A and B are shown apart, each in its own frame.
Chain A
C-alpha cells in the first residue's frame, strides 16, 4: 500500500511531458470517434492514471475521464477532504466526488450529450463496475491498452532508472553486512533508507536458496540468501535482485539459468511478460543454480528489438 511520499516533482516529470501524453489520448479519442476516454484506477492498477495525470490513489477506485480535446476530469471515490492534496500532486483541476464512478460518468454523459465513450481495456474493469457500465445508455468502445501507452518515453525510462538506482544503492550498502541478521531486520534497514530517500512503495522478497523468493519469515540471512527489492519512485517501479554470495550473471540468461521477465509499466504494477521484443521497461530475474539450491540475481532493463539495456 502507498504510504511513502506521493509527490510531483515537475523537474523530473515536466508539465510538457504530461501534456504530450494527454494530446496522444485526445488523438485516440478523435481516431475512435468517441466523446471521451475513460481510464480505471485503483491502489494496484494505478499505472495508467498515473501515466496520464500523475494521480496515485492511496486507496479506493477512480475513473480518469478525458473529454475529447479537454483537460482530464477525476471521478474519485475518495473523500473531498483529500482533493486539495490530490490537486497538488496531479494535473487534475476538476475532481468530482464519485462513490460510484460509472454513475457519475453517466451523469456527465447526459449533461454533455456524450453518446460514445472509449474505455481503456473495457473487459479488464472490475466486474461490478463493468456491469454498471454496460447497463448504461452510452455506447462503450474498447480501447486496447497499447493504444494509449506504446513505447516508454524518455522521462519514463529515466524515472524507472532512478528507482532502480535507489534499489541497487541500498542493496550494495546493506547486503555485505547482512549475514546473521534476520530477514525482517534487513528489510527494516532497506525500507528505512528507501523511504527516507522518497520511495512511494517498497516490496521486498527473500529466498534462502531452497525455494523461490517469498515475503520474509524471520529466517536468518545466510550465504545462500537472495533479496528482491521492488521500489516505486513517483509511480515508477524497479526491481533489483542481489544475493549475499555476490554471484552475478549476464542479462539475459545463459544456458542453465532460468529467466523471468515482468513488465513494470503495464496495467498492473508487474505482470509476467512472454514477449521479449516489445518495447517496455521490464524486470529480469534469473535463478542461477548453486549446487542443489538457487541464487537469484536481477535488474530493471529497457527492452526492445535491439535487446536489453540495464537501467
Chain B
C-alpha cells in the first residue's frame, strides 16, 4: 500500500490549479483521520495531524505526537514538525506563506483557533476544500479498490465468526468482543460495529450492552472492518433459534429491497433513485411509513477512508453515480413484523452495473 498515492496527489494538484489555491491543507483529527489520510495514508496517533500540499507538489506535515514523526516522514519524504499544540506548528509551517491562498480539507472539523491562525498568517480566511476533495475521493483508484476488496473479504469472515459464536445466554458485548478480536487478529486496523438484539422493541442499532441473547431474538449488526485505511461493510440479521414466520416475512422484504438497489445501481443513476427503489418495496408491502426518519436513517452510503461517506442514499439526495464508487445499499429500518432489521452488501459501481464485494450468503442467519 502506497503511503502517498501519486494519482490522488496529482488530482489534488489539478484541483488547486483550477481553483487558484496556493496551499491545500489536509487536517485530520482522531475522529476524522480520513481528511489527512486521503493524501498521507498514515494512521497517526496524536490528537491531530496536518499535511500541507504546495502547488509545486511539495508535501510538508505537522503532527502532535512524537511517535507520528517517523511514519509521516517516511510517507511524505518532506519535512515534518512535531508540536504538542497544532496551532504552533501551523504558524511555523505557514510562516513563509505570505499572502498565499489557502484551502483546507477538513476545515469544518478543525478547531476554530486553528482556522484563525491560518487567517492571521496569510491575511485571509481559508477556503473549505472538503466538498471538492470528497468528490475526488468518491471515485476509487484501482489500488483503493483492492484495499476495499480485502476489507470486504474480512467483513465476510468476521460475519462467519459472528454466526459461529452467537448463542443464547451470551451478552451483546461478549459477542462483539469475539468478532472484534477476530477481525483484529486477521489484520483489521479498525472496525466500526453496531449491534442490537431482541424483538419488536428494538428500534435501532447502538454499541453493545450487557443484554443476554435469548431464543427468538433478532441479532442485528453492521460490521465494518478497515484495511490500510479503507472500510467495507456488511449488514446481516441472525435469529437465535428457529425464525418466526414474521421474521421470515420481514427478511424477505429487506432482501427484495436490497436486490432492487443492486439491480439499479450503475453509472448515471441518481442516488435518490437507489433509495426510492428500496423504499418502493416497503411501500408495495404496505410498510411505506417505515422508510422515514422516524424509523430509519439512510438506505446506504458511500464507503472509503470513512465508514459513512457522502452521498447518503436518500430519496431527497441527488447525486449521479459514477464508475468505481463504492456504496453500501442497506434498507435497514424498523418494521413492526420483527423490530429493527438490517441487510446490506458493499457494492462497486462498474461500467454497466455493480458487483457485490460481499460474498456472505444472502439469507436470514440462524444460531
Q: Name A's B-contacting residues (CB within 8 A).
A: 1-7, 42-45, 58-59, 79-82, 84-85, 122-128, 130-131, 184-185, 187-189, 191-192, 194-196, 198, 205, 211-216, 218, 260, 268-274
Contacts and interface: CB of A to CB of B under 8 A. Distances in A.
A128 to B, nearest CB: 4
Contacts of B173: 4-5, 195-196, 198
B91 interface: no
Contacts of B294: 80
Contact of A1 (B64, B65, B70, B192): B192
Nearest to B65: A272
B211 to A, nearest CB: 10
A3 B112 contact: no
A2 B178 CA distance: 15
Nearest to B110: A127
Nearest to B188: A184
B164 interface: no
A212 B69 CA distance: 9
Given A1-B192, A192-B180, 17 more contacts: A3-B208, A5-B210, A58-B207, A123-B111, A127-B108, A128-B109, A189-B185, A195-B180, A211-B70, A212-B71, A214-B45, A260-B66, A260-B67, A268-B30, A269-B47, A271-B84, A272-B66
B207 A127 contact: no
A205 B184 contact: no
A168 B84 CA distance: 27
28 contacts: A1-B190, A3-B180, A6-B207, A7-B209, A42-B31, A44-B47, A58-B194, A79-B293, A79-B297, A82-B206, A85-B204, A122-B112, A125-B111, A126-B112, A127-B109, A184-B184, A184-B187, A187-B184, A189-B181, A191-B184, A192-B177, A192-B180, A195-B176, A196-B178, A198-B173, A214-B71, A218-B187, A271-B46
B246 interface: no
Contact of A4 (B114, B190, B207): B207
Interface in B163-207: 173-174, 176-178, 180-182, 184-187, 189-194, 203-204, 206-207
A272 to B, nearest CB: 4
A43 B31 contact: yes
Nearest to B48: A268
Contacts of A85: 204, 206, 209
Contacts of B204: 79, 81-82, 85
Contacts of A126: 108-112
Contact of B185 (A4, A45, A184, A214): A184
Contacts of A196: 173-174, 177-178
A130 B112 contact: yes
B283 interface: no
B309 to A, nearest CB: 14
Contacts of A79: 204, 293, 297
Q: Identify which of B109, B174, B182, B187 gathers the most chain A CB atoms within 10 Å of its CB.
A: B187
Most buried by A among B84, B177, B207: B207
B115 interface: yes
Nearest 4 CB-CB pairings of A with B? A188-B185, A195-B177, A192-B181, A130-B112
Nearest to B226: A1
B111 A3 contact: no
A172 to B, nearest CB: 18
Contacts of A260: 66-67
Contact of B112 (A125, A213, A216, A218): A125
Q: Name B's interface SS.
A: mixed
A189 B194 CA distance: 21
B232 to A, nearest CB: 15
Contacts of A44: 29-31, 47
Contacts of B176: 3-4, 195
Nearest to A130: B112
Interface centre among B64, B115, B184 (most CB of A within 10 A): B184
Contact of A188 (B108, B112, B181): B181
Nearest to A89: B209
A58 B206 contact: yes
A42 B47 CA distance: 13
B113 interface: yes
B84 A272 contact: yes
A131 B185 CA distance: 43
Interface string B75-89: 000000000100000
A124 B110 CA distance: 8
A43 to B, nearest CB: 5
A3 B207 contact: yes
B107 interface: yes
Interface string B27-59: 001110000000000010111000000000000
Interface string B95-139: 000000000000111111111100000000000000000000000
Contacts of A2: 207
A293 B354 CA distance: 49
A126 B189 CA distance: 26
Contacts of B70: 211-212
Contacts of B107: 127-128
A37 B186 CA distance: 45
A85 B194 CA distance: 13
A5 B293 CA distance: 27
Which of A44, A127, A187 has most B Cβ within 10 Å? A127
